[in-house]
């Protein structure tokens, strides 16, 4: 009966092909929503680890997380460099890494920091940053270290020079071309926002803004002149803190948020990420619902096509009965047809999912998202199982209709 069902489908290949395409694309959308949600969660959660607190100017926790870690958006205000020094000297703090944002290079964010960033910052399962090429020299104010995506997309290598731009626009006429930076090393890929950064010393950030006190370049300053100046910054954007005792994080967070001095906000990255997932959860639910609705439409189209041709196949069913086929045999033929089309649609949807992921890898990489090649997750298997069960149950409708048809009903010509 299975082979007979295959031949029956092949005899109606045009309409079956349309239903198959519709179902495949529906399954693809259903799985793609789930996988993109998982990729986003995994990528965001692995961007930073081992950092107990992030401190910035008074703002919302999500805003501080997005601009300080993911380099999305901008800080409302900076914090004084003295505040950073005070935090670094606190007896509860093991290390403090300053972060200064505000400039860019050909669309990539420039991050001002110090040498400690490359030793203390961790991502994923407490993985340290590693150098892919060059030497990790970060002593001169005009040294630079770049992320893997910057090197790949712009064709940079150690020894090349980069000119930073004032502001964060991809195209800007305000260039700091009087003070180029020399790339010392390229970091290994991390699958995080680190890959999209250009890292320079804080002193370099101060140097290139000499003569920009009004927000516009009022005078040109040479590298030699800048090196004679005190290049300690007046302010920075945020601070990453690693504590000696992680249990002290809540208490220190409360003390920073309630301090009477400069208004600051301290967040725990894990808690801020949880708030982000809670906000994104509503959008994910809506997208999943829409995807499920599309799958339902695909299954309805399968059911509709079977019911539509069932009337045309009454003579065919009668001939089957005349050569000895039982009503149960007719039931099996219609049931197998639904099973074959549904299974083929699910398999095709999975193949298309991996093809789409392969095509989207450059986009994931450009946005610092980690999209590893993995087998289907339990949730994705569950979605496929639900689709298969729904398709099989839908196939019971025309199968029962064929089962109830009698030989005389099929052979009688109705006026």
Residues 57 and 83 sit within 8 Å (Cβ to Cβ): no
Query: Residue 162: which H helix or E strand, with range?
Result: strand 161-162
Ranking 38-42, 142-146, 212-216, 354-358 by mean pLDDT, the lowest is 212-216
pLDDT tens-place string over residues 89-100? 999 999 999 999
List strand residue ranges (DSSP E) for 10-146, in order: 53-57, 79-80, 93-105, 108-113, 122-123, 127-128, 131-134, 143-146
Confidence label for 303 from pLDDT (cuts 50, 70 and 90)? confident
Rounded distance, CA 392 to CA 268, Å? 48
Taking only the tens place, the pLDDT of each residue in 236-281 is: 999 999 999 988 899 999 999 998 888 999 999 888 888 877 777 7
**88: Cβ–Cβ under 8 A, 6 or more apart, which residues?**
95, 96, 239
* Average pLDDT score over residue span 334-363: 85
CA-based angle 331:337:342, to the nearest 5? 130
Provide mean pLDDT across the span 221-246.
87
> What token pair was written down for 141?
């104010």
pLDDT band for 118, please (50, 70, 90 cuts).
very high
| pLDDT value at residue 338 | 79
Angle at 110 between CA 202 and CA 196, to 5 degrees: 135
For the segment 121-135, the average pLDDT, to the nearest whole number, is 90
For residue 299, the model assigns a pLDDT of 75
Q: Is the pLDDT of residue 209 over 90?
A: no
Decide if 52 contacts 370 (C-beta within 8 A). Answer: no
pLDDT at 413: 46
The residue extents of the domains of the chain are: 2-44+281-411, 53-267
Which residue in 296, 370, 306, 313 sits closest to 338, CA to CA?
A: 306
Predicted confidence band at 235 (pLDDT cuts at 50, 70, 90)? very high
In this predicted structure, the answer to whether residue 411 has a pLDDT above a threshold of 50 is no
Residues 287, 378 contacting (CB under 8 angstroms): no
Of the two residues 29 and 368, the one the predictor is more confident about is 29
Tell if the pTM clears 0.85, that is, is over it.
Answer: no
Predicted local distance difference test score (pLDDT) of residue 304 = 75
pLDDT for residue 115: 93
């Amino acid at each position: 009966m299975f082979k007979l069902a295959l031949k029956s489908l092949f005899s109606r290949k045009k309409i079956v092909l349309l239903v198959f395409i519709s179902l495949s694309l529906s399954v693809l959308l259903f799985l793609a929503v789930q996988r993109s949600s998982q990729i986003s969660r995994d990528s965001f959660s692995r961007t930073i680890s081992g950092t107990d607190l992030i401190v910035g100017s008074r703002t919302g926790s999500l805003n501080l997380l997005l601009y300080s870690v993911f380099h999305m958006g901008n800080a409302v205000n900076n914090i004084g460099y003295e505040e950073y020094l005070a935090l670094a000297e606190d007896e509860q703090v093991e290390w403090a890494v300053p972060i200064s944002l505000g400039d860019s290079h050909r669309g990539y964010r420039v991050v001002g920091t110090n040498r400690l960033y490359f030793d203390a910052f961790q991502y994923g399962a407490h993985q340290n940053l590693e150098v892919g090429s060059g030497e990790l020299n970060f002593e001169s104010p005009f040294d630079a270290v770049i992320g893997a995506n910057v090197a790949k997309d712009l064709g940079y290598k150690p020894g090349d020079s980069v000119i930073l731009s004032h502001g964060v626009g991809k195209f800007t006429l305000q260039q700091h071309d009087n003070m180029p930076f020399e790339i010392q090393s390229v970091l290994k890929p991390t699958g995080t926002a680190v890959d999209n950064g250009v890292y320079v010393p804080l002193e370099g950030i101060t140097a290139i803004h000499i003569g920009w006190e009004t927000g516009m370049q009022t005078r040109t300053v040479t590298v030699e002149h800048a090196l004679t100046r005190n290049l300690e910054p007046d302010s920075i954007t945020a601070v990453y803190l690693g504590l000696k005792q992680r249990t002290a994080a809540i208490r220190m967070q409360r003390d920073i948020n309630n301090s009477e001095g400069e208004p600051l906000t301290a967040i725990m990255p894990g808690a801020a990420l949880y708030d982000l997932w809670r906000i994104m959860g509503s959008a994910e639910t809506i997208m999943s619902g829409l995807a499920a609705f599309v799958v339902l439409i695909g299954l309805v189209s399968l059911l509709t096509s079977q019911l539509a041709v069932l009337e045309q196949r009454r003579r065919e069913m009668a001939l089957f009965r005349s050569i000895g086929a039982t009503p149960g045999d007719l039931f099996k033929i219609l049931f197998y047809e639904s099973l074959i089309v549904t299974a083929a649609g699910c398999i095709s949807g999975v193949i298309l999912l991996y093809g789409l992921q392969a095509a989207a890898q450059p986009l994931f990489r450009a946005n610092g998202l980690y999209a590893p090649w993995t087998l289907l997750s339990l949730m994705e298997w569950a979605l496929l199982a639900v689709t298969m069960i729904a398709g099989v149950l839908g196939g019971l409708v025309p199968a029962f209709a064929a089962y109830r048809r009698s030989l005389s009903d099929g052979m009688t010509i109705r006026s």
